[in-house]
Amino acid sequence: MKFEPQQYRIPDVSMQPFIDEEEIHDILRQAIPEKERVKAIIAKSLDKQRLSLEETAVLLNATDPEMIGWIRQGARQLKERVYGKRIVLFAPLYVGNYCSNNCRYCGFKASNKSAIRKTLNTDELIANVKALEEHGQKRLILVFGEHRTYSAEFIAETVKLVYSVKKDHGEIRRVNINAAPFDIEGFKTIGESGIGTYQIFQETYHRPTYKICHPSGKKADYDYRLTALDRAMEGGIDDVGIGALFGLYDWRFEVLALLRHVNHLEACYNVGPHTISFPRIQDALDYDLDDQYQVSDEEFTRLVAILRLAVPYTGLILTAREPEHIRREVLAYGCSQIDAGTKLEIGAYAENPEVDQNLTKEQFKINDDRTLNQVIDELIENDYIPSFCTACYRKGRTGQHFMEFSVPGFIKKFCTPNALFTLAEYIIDYATPETAAKGWRLVDQSIDEIEDESYRNKVRDRVERIKNGERDLYF
């Protein structure tokens, strides 16, 4: 059967499942990576156009090293041309690891009797948020197991509490969430607490694999999870993040399914996801899957480059699951956000900051355990501008990533100066002397590069105000 581009067998109806496995397999089977076609598809992406599933499948099927080189180079070019040098930083904060599901890859699964279970109480939560603020974090993602304890009301109260915690110049300016799916009412409650992005990963879009990986608990319901973000949208949360856990099933299938999810949200709600995550399976306590679909480093970095080209205006999130050298490479392909200073052990930011990972208290193993300052230092060394900017979210400029990409001059006018303001705050309040020296050089040089003189002076003036003690300045 031959497909017309973007004609789906399952139509995009809100709240209805939209993944047709056979369709995705057919698209993959029919995509032939001829050189001229591959070049044309990359050129289309560099022209800032979204790729269709068929076009993306052509890139996914390319195995010729020369073509793979073009794909990687294309992603690098797109990043340089469009996004510039900013990398947004955040930290995950695990609030509780009680869970009634049995995801076979996860250390928090209910059947794992060696897991040490805990939910942060109010004092512990405050202590952890303060500890994060003391390092300079401004953006958090709160992570929860799936358990009746973590109701929508509990999550909403937790969010409000996190926003209320201040330490010296420290404050959390954006709280994102990664938690179980809710009904529309639940999403309303959570949305009203002022969250940034609601993130939920389908893990695998392949139904038979999903069934194997999620044998019991509420998460065993594939469709309820697949339609979670439809309910979030209906409940008023229009800033959402999707993701697939790479290593459960064929990575090519998952990339196309992620795009299918993007298309579904755009078709039904006129807004795509703010971010896509692509966690790769890591070791965990009681890990219970074979490695048939393991994704190699080469495949992983390639799939990120392909995702970048396929959805040029969607944020890509890379986490500390990946080791330093992979993070470095993948950053060049246009990831927009990374975590840093990450600790997964519940309560560890306040209690055990120096202690190594203990998998009885953690969901999985991470491979980049550098401090926030170390990561910032390396970013600056590599000519990136670390950013804690939260301006768009607080100014109500929704669809931020889309605007960055599509509104001419948006990055120059808003994103770069705002990144510099948050970097200046970080340098003054938290950086080591060596990082501070490098940081100021970068700030000064970046200001000098602003072409418009009056704008350049405005930015310089604000940095001076920050040096004089003002905080939280943004355009």
From candidates 102, 137, 178, 390, binder to ligand SAM by CB under 6 A: 178
Coil, helix or strand for 348?
helix
Instruction: Check residue 279 for interaction with ligand SAM (CB under 6 A).
Output: yes
What are the Cα distances from residue 405, in Å, to 18, 39, 257, 269, 401?
A: 27, 22, 23, 20, 6
- For position 219 contacting ligand SF4 by CB under 6 A, the verdict is yes
**Beta carbons within 8 Å of 297's beta carbon, 6+ residues apart:** 326
End-to-end CA distance of the chain: 52
Which of 332, 336, 304, 314 is closest to 405 using CA atoms? 314
Of 99, 155, 258, 340, the one binding ligand SF4 (CB under 6 A) is 99
CB 397 to ligand SAM: min, Å: 27
* 246 touching ligand SAM, by CB under 6 A: no
Residue closer to ligand SAM by CB (options 62, 366) is 366
CB of 279 to ligand SAM, least distance (A): 4
**Among ligand SF4, ligand SAM, none, partner that 281 touches (CB below 5 to 8 angstroms by kind):** ligand SAM
Residue 87, beta-bridge partner list: 386
279 binds, among ligand SF4, ligand SAM, none (CB under 5 to 8 A by kind): ligand SAM
Binding mask 246-265 for ligand SF4 (x = CB under 6 A): --------------------
Classify 439 as helix, strand or coil: helix
Q: Where are the alpha helices (DSSP H) in 288-339?
A: 297-310, 324-331
Instruction: Please state, in angstroms and rounded to a whole number, the distance separating the CA atoms of residues 403 and 392.
Output: 10
Size of the site for ligand SAM (CB under 6 A): 19
CA 54 to chain centre: 25
Token pair belonging to 48: 């800032």
Q: Which does 38 bind (CB under 5 to 8 A by kind): ligand SF4, ligand SAM, none?
A: none
CA 350, 352, 357: angle at the middle one, nearest 5?
125
Q: Which stretch binds ligand SF4 (CB under 6 A): 33-41, 99-107, 246-254, 296-304?
A: 99-107
Q: Any idea what DSSP says for residue 433? A: H
Nearer CB in complex with ligand SAM: 276/284: 284
Q: How far is CA 278 from its chain centroid?
A: 8
**Is the dihedral angle over the CA atoms 280, 282, 285, 289 positive or is it negative?**
positive
Residue 190 contacts ligand SAM per CB under 6 A? no
Instruction: Indicate which of ligand SF4, ligand SAM, none lies near residue 109 (CB less than 5 to 8 Å, by partner kind).
Output: ligand SF4
The single-letter code of the amino acid at 179 is: A
Does residue 360 contact residue 338 with C-beta atoms inside 8 Å?
Answer: no
219 near 200, Cβ under 8 Å? no
CB of 279 to ligand SF4, least distance (A): 10
378 binding ligand SAM? (CB under 6 A) = no
Query: Minimum Å distance from CB 217 to ligand SF4?
Result: 7
Q: Using the rule CB under 6 A, is 143 a contact of ligand SAM?
A: yes
β-bridge partners, 385: 86
Q: Which residue is nearest to ligand SAM (CB)?
A: 364
Q: Does 106 bind ligand SAM (CB under 6 A)?
A: yes
Query: Can residue 259 be called a binding residue for ligand SAM (CB under 6 A)?
Result: no
Q: Using CB under 6 A, count the residues that bind ligand SF4.
A: 9
Query: CA of 352: how far to CAs of 125, 127, 170, 348, 376, in Å?
Result: 14, 12, 20, 5, 22
Please say whether the beta carbons of 234 and 184 come within 8 A.
yes
Interface pick for ligand SF4 out of 146, 239, 368, 404 (rule CB under 6 A): 146
Out of 19, 42, 106, 459, name the contact with ligand SF4 by CB under 6 A: 106
From candidates 110, 256, 284, 450, binder to ligand SAM by CB under 6 A: 284
Q: Report 411-450 residues binding ligand SF4 (CB under 6 A).
A: none
Q: Which two tokens stand for residue 236?
A: 């008023």
Q: Which residue's CB is nearer to ligand SAM, number 94 or number 393?
A: 94
Say how far apart CA 35 and CA 75 lie, in whole Å: 17
With CB under 5 to 8 Å by kind, the binding choice for 191 among ligand SF4, ligand SAM, none is none
Per CB under 6 A, does 105 bind ligand SAM? yes
DSSP state of 137: -
Give, in order, the Cα–Cα distances in Å from 289 to each of 114, 222, 272, 278: 18, 19, 32, 18
Distance CA 283, CA 293 (A): 14
Nearer to ligand SAM, 3 or 98 (CB): 98
Q: Which is nearer to ligand SAM, 324 or 472 (CB)?
A: 324
Residue list 107-136, contact with ligand SF4 (CB under 6 A): 108-109
**DSSP H or E segment with residue 75:** helix 65-78
Binding site for ligand SAM (CB under 6 A): 105-106, 143, 145-146, 178-180, 200-201, 203, 245, 279, 281-282, 284, 321, 363-364
Binding site for ligand SF4 (CB under 6 A): 99, 101, 103, 106, 108-109, 145-146, 219
